């Protein structure tokens, strides 16, 4: 089947993936493969801008790749690789830096936010982060970048940088990527308040055992006004109910919606039901993950093959870029 174009997306190596990653990105990655030529990159160099130690970066990269493949990213359909394995991206980053005004980078709200978060580590890479992200996208001549509305400005930055480059060197070798607006659900963590995230330790890892999953689910914060089993609850303010809407049957969702409000079901039973349905949903993933984990070399082979395929595209682009600039 002819595909509609090329998609690029990257994610930092955060190790074992959680429900937030799954619902927010991985499911979408899997779905896009059917219609597009997809390139999925584990952006390990980006991680260096904020990491204080790289002790876990190798293992996190491996675990993330394992989760992606187990979740259905198909290396026969998509290119899956590690950013630093294709060094042409660093070359393009340097070249694009020359057409990017420094003030534009330091004015970006995302940069200001990073400075607030790590005032003692405002490194050059942190400032140039959006340029490296642009290099990631345009090196592979991506037509589309799937992002949620809050990330759309990153792709807009890439488009502007491409225009600056093409204008400066009177060329059209770099391609302006389009935004593929994707609905990214905000998955709330077990604390019931903040976005699910490993750093906040409010996450549910996909690769947990069913027992471990149930244990974590039982810690989920529910309707804070429901103190006793006999108090009626309000599912509209309860994160467990939001999760039921994703993983439980319409009949179960309707039942909880009714019974919670009249204290007909307690939070313990409600959570047990969610854990059961989540475990059933993740059972095929966990089975595939266990099978893949038996042969770690196979994962490394997938990443090496992805690197080989990505390098072919990258080197072609860089030959055109060098030629357009007139480098000797
Ligand atoms: Fe939330 Fe379920 Fe408890 Fe209602 S019964 S407050 S939906 S956990």
From 248, 306, 235, select the one nearest 276 (Cα to Cα): 248
Mean pLDDT rounded to a whole number for the chain: 95
- Mutating to test ligand 1, I would choose from 214, 223, 272 the residue with most ligand atoms within 8 A of its C-beta, which is 223
Domains, the chain, ordered by start: 6-187+296-325 (3.40.50.620), 210-290 (1.10.240.10)
What are the strands, taking DSSP E only, across the chain?
6-11, 37-42, 79-82, 144-147, 178-181
Q: Are residues 225 and 231 in contact, defined by beta-carbon separation less than 8 angstroms?
A: yes
1-37 confidence digits (pLDDT tens): 688 899 999 999 999 999 999 998 999 999 999 999 9
Q: What pLDDT was estimated at residue 1?
A: 66
Closest ligand 1 atom to 266 CA: 5
Looking at 52-61, 64-73, 93-102, 202-211, which range is the least confident one?
A: 52-61
Instruction: Check if the beta carbon of residue 79 is closer than 8 Å to that of residue 306.
Output: yes
Q: Which residue has the tokens 């790590």?
A: 118
Return the bridge partners of 11, or none.
Answer: 42
Pick 39 or 152 by higher pLDDT: 39
How much is the average pLDDT of 112-116? 91
Q: Find out whether the beta carbon of 241 lies less than 6 Å from any atom of ligand 1.
A: yes
Predicted-complex ipTM score = 0.99
For residue 301, give Cα distances in angstroms to 35, 62, 65, 321: 25, 11, 11, 30
Distance of CA 155 to the CA centre of its chain: 15
| Residue 18, Ramachandran bin (φ over 0: left; ψ between -120 and 50: alpha; else beta) | beta
The pick from 229, 237, 239, 260 for probing ligand 1's pocket by mutation, whose C-beta has the most ligand atoms within 8 angstroms, reads 260
Nearest atom (ligand 1) to Cα of 259: 5
The verdict on the CB of residue 235 being under 6 Å from ligand 1 is yes
Task: Give the Å distance between the CA of 192 and the centre of ligand 1.
Answer: 12
Q: Are the C-beta atoms of residues 178 and 144 closer than 8 Å to each other?
A: yes
């Amino acid at each position: 089947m002819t595909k509609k174009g090329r998609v690029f997306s990257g994610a930092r190596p955060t190790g074992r993936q959680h429900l937030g990653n799954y619902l927010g990105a991985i499911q979408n990655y899997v779905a896009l493969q059917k219609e597009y030529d997809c390139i999925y990159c584990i952006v390990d160099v980006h991680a260096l801008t904020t990491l204080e130690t790289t002790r876990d970066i190798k293992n996190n990269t491996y675990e993330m790749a394992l989760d992606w493949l187990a979740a259905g990213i198909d290396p026969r359909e998509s290119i899956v690789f590690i950013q630093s394995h294709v060094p042409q991206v660093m070359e393009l980053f340097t070249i694009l830096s020359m057409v990017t005004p420094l003030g534009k980078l330091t004015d970006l709200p995302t940069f200001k936010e990073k400075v607030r978060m790590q005032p003692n580590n405002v490194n050059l890479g942190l400032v140039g982060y959006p340029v490296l992200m642009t290099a990631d996208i345009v090196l592979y001549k991506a037509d589309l970048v799937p992002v949620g509305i809050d990330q759309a400005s990153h792709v807009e930055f890439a488009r502007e940088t491409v225009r600056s480059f093409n204008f400066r060197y009177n060329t059209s070798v770099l391609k302006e990527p389009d935004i593929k607006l994707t609905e990214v659900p905000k998955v709330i963590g077990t604390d019931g308040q903040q976005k699910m995230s490993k750093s906040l330790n409010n996450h549910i890892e996909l690769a947990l055992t069913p027992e471990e999953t149930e244990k974590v689910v039982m810690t989920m914060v529910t309707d804070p006004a429901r103190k006793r089993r006999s108090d009626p609850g309000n599912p509209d303010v309860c994160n467990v109910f939001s999760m039921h809407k994703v993983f439980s049957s319409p009949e179960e969702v309707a039942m909880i919606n009714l019974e919670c409000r009249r204290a007909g079901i307690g939070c313990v039973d409600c959570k047990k039901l969610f854990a059961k349905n989540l475990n059933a949903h993740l059972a095929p993933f966990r089975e595939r993950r266990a099978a893949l984990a038996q042969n770690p070399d196979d994962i490394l082979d997938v990443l090496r093959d992805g690197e080989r395929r990505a390098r072919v595209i990258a080197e072609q682009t860089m030959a055109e870029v060098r030629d357009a600039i007139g480098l000797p």
